[in-house]
Structure 1
Amino acid sequence: MRITRVLGAALLALGLAAGPAAADSSPSPSASDDGKAPTQAGTSFRTATEIEQGQQATASGSTGDYLYWSFPADTGQRPTVKATVKLPETHGSQTWQLDVYDGLRRRQACQYGAQTRTAAQGTSSVELACVLRTVRGWSEPWANDPLPGTYYIRLTVVNLGAADLGLPVNAEVRVDSKDIGGAAAVDGSLAKPLVPGIAVKSAEDEKNGSEPVLSSFGSDDGWSSGWWSDRWVWTGIGAILAALAGIGGYALTRGTGRPSRVPPGV
């Protein structure tokens, strides 16, 4: 009965511990569009329009323009960038491309998604997508791993006829993320996120002794790169399972009867 009670209490603890971990692996909620989503795009990295994850940003431009947006991504997130380009009624064949860069302006590879697509003559729109790798809390200096901070989106046409150059187009961009959690955790964290302006401090900031503003967006509680992840929960679960295995093995091997050979006089 004692072993049964111990097993029951341990299984209950496992259920309570696995609850938060399972919740962490669910997709992160998207921000709702409240009518304040950006309606224009930048023309370079320096003028990229800032958008939040979950916002549906729009912009008008011309074929041949470079359209730039930027968004924040934190440790454990796997961002998905989607773009839709609405083309004029009359046009020739056009090839559009969606590129994503990190805070160091390093082009990030897409795990999957149609990053480049060709719109045939007369096609009304073209849809592009890029699913990035999971953002890591730390990486080797020589590696090209995604790190927490600002990411840039660049949308442009890479192949079209001379007659189509300058035609008006409308673009829609949206970024969503899935929280991967401890499955992608690493032992380490960045001292500062890769955010524009991190090394810039104004004269007023220096006078007041305040820290420079890293960016106009970011998580409310700061950047979450740190020591904690749900990997610790699963490590605890493994320890409990190992302890249960030891208790069960001891109960099975110690025996329950009296010794087969009883000393004389007993």
Structure 2
Amino acid sequence: MRIATVTGAALLALGLAAGPAAADSSPSPAAGSPAPSSAGTSFRTATEIEQGQRATADASAGDYLYWSFPADAGQRPTVRATVKLPDTHASQTWQVDVYDGLRRRQACQYGAQTRTAAAGTSSVELACVLRTVRAWSEPWANDPLPGTYYVRLTALDLPAADLGLPVGAEVRADAKDMGGAAAVDGSLSEPLVPGIAVTSRQDAADDDSGDSAVLSAIEPEDGWSSGWWSDRWVWTGIGGVLAALAGIGGYALTRGSGRPRGVPPGA
């Protein structure tokens, strides 16, 4: 009976701990917030989008289109892009690139980052799944770190006849929480958000000269964690509880009836 109680308590504890770890960290866009309908033409003018928000833009073939979104420690971002092409066009190759807050191009773990649309194809879909964002990294490493991420969408080596043709672009950035398995010791003092130390949005609004610019003012829904919390804390606590339960169960199994050896029952 005691063993069954110990086992049931352990399974319940494991279930409670595993629940939050499996959750997707992509927040839902705030109700009523308008979806962006344009794209920037450089890193500096990139259109800001939230995780889980669908952004669209009308452009011309040959343009460079830029968006930016926040990604925090422990998240694995995924960027998806769809390009709607005109009815008549030659073969076109499109590519989506993702850069971090230091404008370092980040490699895709997997996904169709570059695709070629045959002549007459109505659309082309691209995807890039990044590595998990780390809370801290060596200065020489190219690991993704917390902060702003930039999405660049463009066509490669367009035929002269297709330059300037109207196209439609759709971009969405999501992120999956990878849990304590991706946690590392250490954290950044500040996320890599370009322009955050230059001026605030309010300062820019109060500046009549028009010279100030906020390069990025977006952040995750719950703020920047910088890696201070992960579900490793939960698993550590559960490990301690299980160790205590195992000790109690072992004692219950080995203590016996308490009678000296050789003394018959009832003596």
Q: TM-score, normalised by structure 2?
A: 0.84
Tell me the secondary structure at the aligned position of residue 238 of structure 2: helix
Tell me the secondary structure at the aligned position of residue 182 of structure 1: helix
1:184 aligned to which of 171, 182, 185: 182
Q: Distance in 2 between matches of 1:175 and 1:226?
A: 21
Tell me the secondary structure at the aligned position of residue 188 of structure 2: coil
Query: 2:57: which partner in 1?
Result: 59
Letter in 1 for 2:121: T
Task: Encode CA deviations 1:204-253: one digit per residue, 9 max, x unaligned.
Answer: 97xxxxxxx88422135421124221111111222222223333333333
Question: Does the Cα contact within 8 Å between 2:94 and 2:156 map onto a contact in 1?
Answer: yes
Letter in 2 for 1:138: W
Letter in 1 for 2:19: A
Tell me the secondary structure at the aligned position of residue 194 of structure 1: coil
Query: 1:223: which partner in 2?
Result: 224
Query: 1:174: which partner in 2?
Result: 172
Q: Distance in 2 between matches of 1:33 and 1:54?
A: 12
Task: Name the count of aligned residue pairs.
Answer: 252
Shift of 1:160: 2.6
Q: TM-score, normalised by structure 1?
A: 0.84
Alignment of 1:1-266 (within 5 A): 3-4=2-3, 7=6, 10-11=9-10, 15=12, 18-19=15-16, 21-28=18-25, 29-31=27-29, 34=32, 36-201=34-199, 215-260=216-261
Letter in 2 for 1:26: A
Q: Distance in 1 between matches of 2:216 and 2:94?
A: 29
Q: Distance in 2 between matches of 1:118 and 1:224?
A: 39
Query: 2:206: which partner in 1?
Result: none
Q: Distance in 1 between matches of 2:99 and 2:47?
A: 14
Letter in 1 for 2:261: S
Question: Does the Cα contact within 8 Å between 2:6 and 2:249 map onto a contact in 1?
Answer: no
Task: Encode CA deviations 1:23-75: one digit per residue, 9 max, x unaligned.
Answer: 24212343267461111111111111111112111111111111110011112
Q: Distance in 1 between matches of 2:33 and 2:244?
A: 55
Tell me the secondary structure at the aligned position of residue 144 of structure 1: coil
Q: Distance in 1 between matches of 2:40 and 2:216?
A: 16
Please, which runs of 5 or more residues in structure 2 have no aligned partner?
Answer: 204-213
Shift of 1:186: 1.3
Letter in 2 for 1:122: G
Tell me the secondary structure at the aligned position of residue 160 of structure 1: coil
Letter in 2 for 1:25: A
Query: 1:208: which partner in 2?
Result: none
Task: Encode CA deviations 1:184-206: one digit per residue, 9 max, x unaligned.
Answer: 1111111000001133148x97x
The alpha-carbon distance between structure 1 residues 228 and 96, as it changes in their structure 2 partners (threshold 3 A), is same
Shift of 1:16: 5.1
Stretch deviating more after TM superposition (246-255 or 101-110):
246-255
Question: Does the Cα contact within 8 Å between 1:18 and 1:233 map onto a contact in 2?
Answer: no
Question: Does the Cα contact within 8 Å between 2:17 and 2:235 map onto a contact in 1?
Answer: no
Question: Does the Cα contact within 8 Å between 1:136 and 1:146 map onto a contact in 2?
Answer: yes
Please, which runs of 5 or more residues in structure 1 have no aligned partner?
Answer: 206-212
Question: Does the Cα contact within 8 Å between 1:96 and 1:159 map onto a contact in 2?
Answer: no
